[in-house]
Structure 1
Amino acid sequence: MIAGVVAALGGWAWVVLVLALLSAELIIPGTVLLWLGMAALAVGGLSLLAAPGWQAELIVFAVLALAAAVGWWLYGRPDNAASSDRPMLNRRAQRHVGKALTLDEPIARGEGRVRIDDSVWRVRGPDLPAGARVTVIAADGATLVVEKAAD
């Protein structure tokens, strides 16, 4: 039944595949289906212009899909992307590492609070009184890990 529908559509079957792949790309992140969709679009254009046999269409699609996947692997992956000019944008706690701060509330039983700009942050470190100077040495989630600042 599916073979009959594909045969009846001819080259338009590739256009339907393109639409299906690009629709799936909207739901499934990663851009891999985008490149497969572009390969299907190229084969669809070829089949509408030249009408090769289905075997040739599948071979061309396989070659183009493989080339697109290799191209994405070499040049399009996120770890190959250019570094940001603001690398700490979505890592709010990590950007405070190294800062010297004044405790807003004392650290008691290992936990306290510090005010940074208009935000109050939980801190973890040695017990210290309010007003003591601390240095942020690490970030653990949304908690800043501190130590007594050197005077």
Structure 2
Amino acid sequence: MSDWLSDQAGYVWLIIAALLAICELLIPGVYLTFIALGAAATGILALVFPELGAIGQFISFAAWSTVAVVVGKRWYGANPVPSADPDLNNRAARMIGQSVTVVEPISGGTGRVRVGDGEWPAEGPDLAAGDKARIVAVRGGVVVVEAVKAIEADLPDQPRDDQTQSKG
């Protein structure tokens, strides 16, 4: 049995590589992919060089796995996967741009605003309670706000009634 197993070592390494690749599909991350590449490289070497003993195969596996991990880490570090929503778990960053209501007057640069169903300490220009503001930044647990001006419609100049009447 032992002779048969040593004769089939290349196939055993390829089976191990396939099992590691399957496990990679079940486990989040990409670490097992690189170990599977090391096992596959060792399997190919064991098929090409059948005289390679068990010690040589383990050294080959360790070396190829290390190379694959180092190359993979460098590649993933240089090419990060972009997030569809980078602020997904950053509540403070998600608040930027929201309109809020001042609940405690902002006087001397500090006050409180209502954000959603909670209140946050705020910094910004002097505003009275009830005024509307917009969050422009977040520093730690303090929101930085700016006053929101009433929007005036940009209408073309309309002639006044006294200008439309003909002089006569």
- Shared fold, TM over 0.5: yes
Contact map agreement 1:15 1:44 (CA 8 A) in 2: yes
Q: What SS does the aligned partner of 1:124 have?
A: strand
Matched, 1:149 2:146: yes
Go from structure 1 to structure 2 and tell me whether the alpha carbon gap of 1:138 and 1:5 turns closer, same or farther (over 3 Å shift): farther
| CA distance, structure 2, for counterparts of residue 32 and residue 24 of structure 1 | 10
Go from structure 1 to structure 2 and tell me whether the alpha carbon gap of 1:11 and 1:102 turns closer, same or farther (over 3 Å shift): closer
Shift in Å, 1:44: 1.1
| Aligned-residue CA RMSD (Å) | 3.9
Go from structure 1 to structure 2 and tell me whether the alpha carbon gap of 1:122 and 1:83 turns closer, same or farther (over 3 Å shift): farther
Contact map agreement 2:136 2:145 (CA 8 A) in 1: no
Matched, 1:18 2:17: yes
| CA distance, structure 2, for counterparts of residue 63 and residue 73 of structure 1 | 15
Go from structure 1 to structure 2 and tell me whether the alpha carbon gap of 1:67 and 1:83 turns closer, same or farther (over 3 Å shift): closer
Q: What SS does the aligned partner of 2:143 have?
A: strand
The structure number with the bigger radius of gyration is 2
Contact map agreement 2:34 2:69 (CA 8 A) in 1: yes
Gaps (5+ residues) in structure 2? 105-110, 150-168
Q: Which residue of 1 aligns with 2:38?
A: 39
Per the normalisation by structure 1, the TM-score is 0.62
Shift in Å, 1:130: 2.7
| CA distance, structure 2, for counterparts of residue 102 and residue 30 of structure 1 | 39
| CA distance, structure 2, for counterparts of residue 5 and residue 130 of structure 1 | 83
Matched, 1:112 2:114: yes
Specify the code of the residue in structure 2 equivalent to 1:101. Answer: S
Give CA-to-partner distance per residue, 1:78-137, whole Å, 9 cap, x none: xx335849774534641543x47342xx52695623xxxxxx464412595333325343
Shift in Å, 1:61: 1.7
Task: Please give the residue correspondences for 1:1-151 in structure 2 after superposition, counting only pairs within 5 Å.
Answer: 6-7=5-6, 9-54=8-53, 55-77=55-77, 80-82=78-80, 84=82, 88=86, 90=88, 91=90, 93-97=92-96, 99=97, 101-103=99-101, 107=103, 110=112, 112-113=114-115, 120=116, 122-125=118-121, 129-138=129-138, 145-147=142-144, 149=146
Higher relative contact order (CA 8 A, sep 6+): 1
Q: How many residues align?
A: 136
Contact map agreement 1:35 1:65 (CA 8 A) in 2: yes
| CA distance, structure 1, for counterparts of residue 138 and residue 130 of structure 2 | 20
Q: What SS does the aligned partner of 1:112 have?
A: strand
Go from structure 1 to structure 2 and tell me whether the alpha carbon gap of 1:37 and 1:88 turns closer, same or farther (over 3 Å shift): closer
| CA distance, structure 2, for counterparts of residue 5 and residue 138 of structure 1 | 67
Go from structure 1 to structure 2 and tell me whether the alpha carbon gap of 1:100 and 1:28 turns closer, same or farther (over 3 Å shift): closer
